[in-house]
Structure 1
């Protein structure tokens, strides 16, 4: 009988050594340094509190690594879900997000059992690029409020309504936030010219 699901962790632990543990610990710390702040940022951009993103990244990271099918598999937050999560939270709240997450998990399990992962090869490349670009534009628009330090109670989820709301509050720009944001952009754009030893690896 063919095994439907067998976590790679079961086979990996049989011959696990201290040297492998040391390497995995270093890799885990590096991933954590990148993923945890990213999870906090994504949580804020998604309209929930920072600790929710932190808890989600930690718990999901352990589950993905423990139940995954590869010994080098890691799990972390992705910016593509910001748009979806923000829309759900804005309309249905955190409780609605929890329900949607459970439904999505059930659908993923069903698709996995049905071996539907190969269907991705039939999706055209331009469609993937267009989807990714659209997500990037929406994420960019969601950061305008914090970049300019606009004092807005609620930001509409709809793209056009969001920019109309920004236009109504641009007289409330916080120049400290704007300065920090501009400095960050300069570091990102011109940091490539720094000597290699000064760059992050």
Structure 2
């Protein structure tokens, strides 16, 4: 890797902005049946005009790859009566990659906020495959994002501590991803999407997630 590319990777890792690996970019179309977020969908599931307006603005921020926003704060008091569909659509929007394919791996960024929403939803709606699928998608992005960031940081002198921090995060996220995929595959043994995802995840994180 040339010096310029190393510097670029380093700068991106510091901002919490990492390019999505091609291996997960190309798989995105396979999950459309589980993650559809549009005005038509929002109206069909009975969201209010205020909720739809909020989701529309959120979608614009995500697609603009606005990484200056604290998404934990942004979603503190949304205009909703806590409909499950509203929060699910928030998670779908937050975990949809912008056109530049950048992964927002900041602690207060889009992906971690989406993960928090999905974890909370699974406490009360564990029988919905859409929620499991979306959680797998988010964890996949985060695990790959931290993996890429750790690799980039490891190439820069003086960033060993940060690289180790991101490596440990990768291990933790990889384990969570593998456990989630295994549980979902058991719940939906006839669903090819979950079975295929589990196979890919085992290839990428099966042994890696066991490392300390």
The structure showing larger relative contact order (alpha-carbon pairs under 8 Å, at least 6 residues apart) is: 2
Higher share in helix:
1
Which bracket does the TM-score occupy, shorter chain normalised?
Answer: under 0.3
Give TM-score scaled by structure 1 length: 0.26
